[in-house]
Amino acid sequence: MPSQAKFTVRQAAFIGVGAMVGAGIFALLGAAGEVAGSAVWLSFVIAGIVAILQGYSFAKLGARYPSAGGLLEYVAKGFGEGHVTGITAWLVYVANAIVTAMVAVSFGSYASAMFAGGNAAWAKVFAAFIIIAMTAVNIVGSTLVAKAQTVIVYVVLGILVIFAVVTIANMQLSLLAPSGYPPFRDIVSSVALTFFAFLGFGIITFTAKDLPDPGRQLPRAMFLALGIATVIYIAIAVGVFGTLTAEQVISSGGTALAVAAEPSLGMAGYWMMSVTALFATSGATNAGLYPAPGLCERLAQTGQFPPLMARKLGGRASAGLLIAAAVCLVLALAFNLDAIASIGSAVALLVFIFITVAHFRVRTETRANVVVLGLAVASAGAVLLTFVFTTLIHEPVAILALLVILVVSIALDLAWKYRYTHRAGPLPGAH
């Protein structure tokens, strides 16, 4: 109901911006530079277009079917409340926990480097701290989530804008000369990396329950978030590769932004970017946990998840949120997440493609343009295939983890559906 709504368009967009502008931009530049050289900015342009095509599909669906179930509501509308939707739901829930845990570990690494001399044990402590702190923020409610995210995003965007302006003002245009670009196919190949900096935009779909007029406001929030992220990413890429050679960016790894800031800002630049990394990763952790309560409540209502997942402990704490946080804690503390860093991205791309395929089945209701939907599927499919054959194929542990997650998701869905149907009959809306 409108009286319960808590978000403005800006706050909903900032949930997405916070999810996107996390640790990715700090770690991506070196890896993307290895493939695209100084043309990484062009890779971000292409990735932004791919993301906006997906955003169009999501925005049309969100305007027609606003729900706390977010993007999974769209799968259900296209394929019904059967096994397809259930397996996809468990995939999203597990993959999101992995990505959120990885972001928290990144926060721990930055915090440990700044305050504990890079001590590995302290990195784990800081990772656990940010998961627990952001879980508490989400328990208090979506109003606090929105306020916290707004502060975080303003700080992150403010510092990144200063960084971009300073580096662009002092850049050497010769470093960005097209004559130094690799073949165009390499630039396209790098989109498989740069697109991952946009993956968090799907979280915006879960804000529908907190918007007064989601049919009108959700598309605005979607495009505002994607517009902000695209402009920031391109500006940062131009600034970094206009200040450092591609070889310097590659050798700098995750500290490329700090190294690029040093010529103009000295050690202050290093600390400025380190603080930004802390804010960005805390914001991404917050955004990663945000969908769990609404998602679990909606999926429990339709019989996709057990009722336990929608239960409110003490009348406030969502069991689905607490379980997600517990999984994040176990992953962050007990596993080397670097080995499966690609899993969240691969699953997200699969889900994105699946949602837009489902969109074709209800396009007469959403009045979406068929050509744009086709381009959305084709472009995301191209990014996924490129990613599989250039990156994932060289990571056997990640492939094994992906198969395990898929098997576990299928097993969870089959086990719950078997129990549900034997106790309560067919699922609501199944066909």
**Segments in the chain below pLDDT 70:** 1-5, 23-24, 27, 253-255, 338, 422-431
233 has which bridge partners?
none
Q: What is the pLDDT of residue 370?
A: 96
Q: Is residue 377 part of a domain?
A: yes
Q: Is residue 430 part of a domain?
A: no
Are the C-beta atoms of residues 381 and 350 closer than 8 Å to each other? no
318 has which bridge partners?
312
Are the C-beta atoms of residues 315 and 141 closer than 8 Å to each other? no
Q: Is residue 405 part of a domain?
A: yes
**DSSP state, residue 22:** S
Are the C-beta atoms of residues 6 and 142 closer than 8 Å to each other? yes
Q: What is the pLDDT of residue 427?
A: 57
- What is the SS3 assignment for 155? helix
Q: Is residue 166 part of a domain?
A: yes
Q: Is residue 23 part of a domain?
A: yes
Return all residues near 76 (Cβ < 8 A) that are at least 6 apart. 69, 85, 302, 429
Q: Is residue 325 part of a domain?
A: yes
- What is the SS3 assignment for 313? strand
Which phi and psi angles does 361 have, rounded to 5°? -75, -15
What is the rounded radius of gyration, in angstroms, for the C-alpha atoms of the chain? 21
Q: Where are the beta strands (DSSP E) in 329-406?
A: none
Q: Is residue 6 part of a domain?
A: yes
Are the C-beta atoms of residues 271 and 78 closer than 8 Å to each other? no
Which CATH number do you get for residue 17? 1.20.1740.10
Q: What is the pLDDT of residue 274?
A: 82
Length of the chain (residues): 431
Name the residue range of residue 10's domain: 2-423
Q: What is the pLDDT of residue 273?
A: 83
Q: Is residue 428 part of a domain?
A: no
Q: If DSSP states are collapsed to H, E and C, what string results for 36-94?
A: HHHHHHHHHHHHHHHHHHHHHHHHHHHHHCCCCCCHHHHHHHHHCCCHHHHHHHHHHHH
**DSSP state, residue 427:** P
Q: What is the pLDDT of residue 27?
A: 67
Number of compact structural domains in the chain: 1
